Amino acid sequence: MKLIRSKLFFNIGIYGLTNAINAGIPFFLLPILTHYLLPKDFAIIALFQALTSFLMPFISLNFTSAVSVNYFHRETINFGEYIYNGLVLLFISGLTFTLFILFFSSSISALVNFPEPWLIWVVIYVFLFKIIDLISVIWRVQSKALPFGIMKISLTIVELTLAILLIVSIGMNWEGRLISMITSVLVFALISSFLLWKKNLVIPKLKKDYIKDILKFGIPLIPHTIGATLIVFSDRIFIVKMVGEDALGLYSVGYQIGMVISLIQNSFNQAWTPYFYGKLKENKEKVKLNIVKFTYGYFVFMMLLVLLVYLTEDLIFKWFIGENFHDAKEFVVWIALAFAINGMYKMVVNYFFFLKKTIPVSIITFLAAILNLILNYFLILEYGAIGAAKAAVLAFLVQFIVMWVISARYYPMPWLFFTNKNR
């Protein structure tokens, strides 16, 4: 039985097209946004994205990750009841953080340099986004790439159409971008809720065992998710505090271009993960060998993509980016390299998720995040904003190598097959 099936390639193609369109639309809108918005506007938008990403694991308790893994163990659970219990936890944690923000909004605003009246919308955005994420995760584990793609692309189109209307036609600045993001997730959260109800995917019945299972899976993952978020987004806070809002605006534009690697590796991982879990359940040596060979090929592919970004970045800035943002070019290749390494990391961390061993993942990622914070401070102090991009590369590299070595102990694979002449 061959490892790579046409179904896998079809799903990779759909996820790739979806993520390409999702990233491509905002990318092609950069000439418009960089014309109407200032670097300071991009800084506030970047901070909103950083805050939502940071709060995501706390509010969601990673319950959609628990749903995705337990789909493959649904012979032991009532899947609809499991989903309902996850939604109950989401509501409780969302309400808790809403109250927390209301009480401490002034202090939080001063700490992160973000407008106080908009802090409550960070929590609301996360809550709505996770409802959309739930139906998306269910489609993904069911290998239903087409409805997944339609939902994601539609969300992006609505969001950016609203952004153009509010920024270009009405004349708003960063507020227009945030309003477009919040409004679009509200609309699609309502659509997602309707689909969950219509497909009978939610069965209202509280079960203590399911609550415990979700918390047991999700809470140990919080340090992992926070760590990953810190590696990706803490640079914004360091830059705005140590260099300034203009530098953060430039960094955000360069980051958006460099993260094209992220959309490619994320597209692959979305299709690969359910297929990969299914193959591991077969527990056959030949399948394991094929997985390892494919993984090495994927590593090479990631590095070739970084080279491609390096060769094309001058043309991208010449054709698409406003002159006020041309200094953002220095960040692009470093960000591309960081996300290429992150893509390689995803290929090895999936073994832990399959085994439901989330504690080692959390420890390693959290330690990598601490390393990233230290590197951010010293490298930005020494090199300016570009130090943040270099810190991300180093943190992702350490995280990848350590995770790879430890995953080999938890789930042995023939990583050194090339040393065996019989293979």
Mean pLDDT, rounded, for 127-147: 88
Query: What tokens does 356 get?
Result: 């439901």
Per-residue HEC secondary structure of the chain comes to: CCCCCHHHHHHHHHHHHHHHHHHHHHHHHHHHHHHHCCHHHHHHHHHHHHHHHHHHHHHHCCHHHHHHHHHHHHHHCCHHHHHHHHHHHHHHHHHHHHHHHHHHHHHHHHHHCCCHHHHHHHHHHHHHHHHHHHHHHHHHHCCCHHHHHHHHHHHHHHHHHHHHHHHHHCCCCHHHHHHHHHHHHHHHHHHHHHHHHHCCCCCCCCCHHHHHHHHHHHCCHHHHHHHHHHHHHHHHHHHHHHCCHHHHHHHHHHHHHHCHHHHHHHHHHHHHHHHHHHHHHHCCHHHHHHHHHHHHHHHHHHHHHHHHHHHHHHHHHHHHCCHHHHHHHHHHHHHHHHHHHHHHHHHHHHHHHHHCCHHHHHHHHHHHHHHHHHHHHHHHHHHCCHHHHHHHHHHHHHHHHHHHHHHHHHCCCCCCHHHCCCC
Q: Among 26-35, 271-280, 343-352, which stretch is predicted with the lowest mean pLDDT?
A: 26-35
> Which pLDDT belongs to residue 362?
83
Report yes or no on 199 lying in a domain. Answer: yes
Mean pLDDT, rounded, for 269-288: 82
Q: What is the pLDDT of residues 360-393, one digit of tens each?
A: 888 898 899 899 999 999 999 999 999 999 999 9
State yes or no: pLDDT of 25 exceeds 70. Answer: no
Mean residue pLDDT across the chain: 86
State yes or no: pLDDT of 335 exceeds 50. Answer: yes
Report yes or no on 422 lying in a domain. Answer: no
Q: What is the pLDDT of residues 61-80, one digit of tens each?
A: 888 888 887 877 777 788 88
Name the domain count of the chain.
Answer: 1
Q: What is the pLDDT of residues 172-201, one digit of tens each?
A: 889 999 999 999 999 999 999 999 988 888
Report yes or no on 421 lying in a domain. Answer: no
> Which pLDDT belongs to residue 58?
86
State yes or no: pLDDT of 21 exceeds 80. Answer: no
Residue 126 pLDDT level (bands cut at 50, 70, 90) = very high
Q: Which residue has the higher pLDDT, 140 or 421?
A: 140
Half-sphere exposure of 422 (CA within 13 A, CB side): 1
> Which pLDDT belongs to residue 9?
66
Report yes or no on 253 lying in a domain. Answer: yes
Full residue range of the structural domain in which residue 161 is found: 6-415
Q: Among 117-121, 286-290, 403-407, which stretch is predicted with the lowest mean pLDDT?
A: 286-290
116 and 106 Cβ atoms separated by less than 8 Å: yes
Report yes or no on 1 lying in a domain. Answer: no
Report yes or no on 354 lying in a domain. Answer: yes
> Which pLDDT belongs to residue 6?
58
Q: Among 27-41, 160-174, 304-318, which stretch is predicted with the lowest mean pLDDT?
A: 27-41
67 and 80 Cβ atoms separated by less than 8 Å: no
Residue 99 pLDDT level (bands cut at 50, 70, 90) = very high
Q: What is the pLDDT of residues 199-242, one digit of tens each?
A: 888 888 999 999 988 888 888 777 777 777 777 778 888 888 88
Report yes or no on 166 lying in a domain. Answer: yes
113 and 47 Cβ atoms separated by less than 8 Å: yes
Q: Which residue has the higher pLDDT, 58 or 14?
A: 58
Report yes or no on 98 lying in a domain. Answer: yes
283 and 328 Cβ atoms separated by less than 8 Å: no
Mean pLDDT, rounded, for 326-347: 92
> Which pLDDT belongs to residue 60?
85
State yes or no: pLDDT of 4 exceeds 60. Answer: no
> Which pLDDT belongs to residue 3?
44
Most confident residue range from 249-258, 282-291, 395-404: 395-404
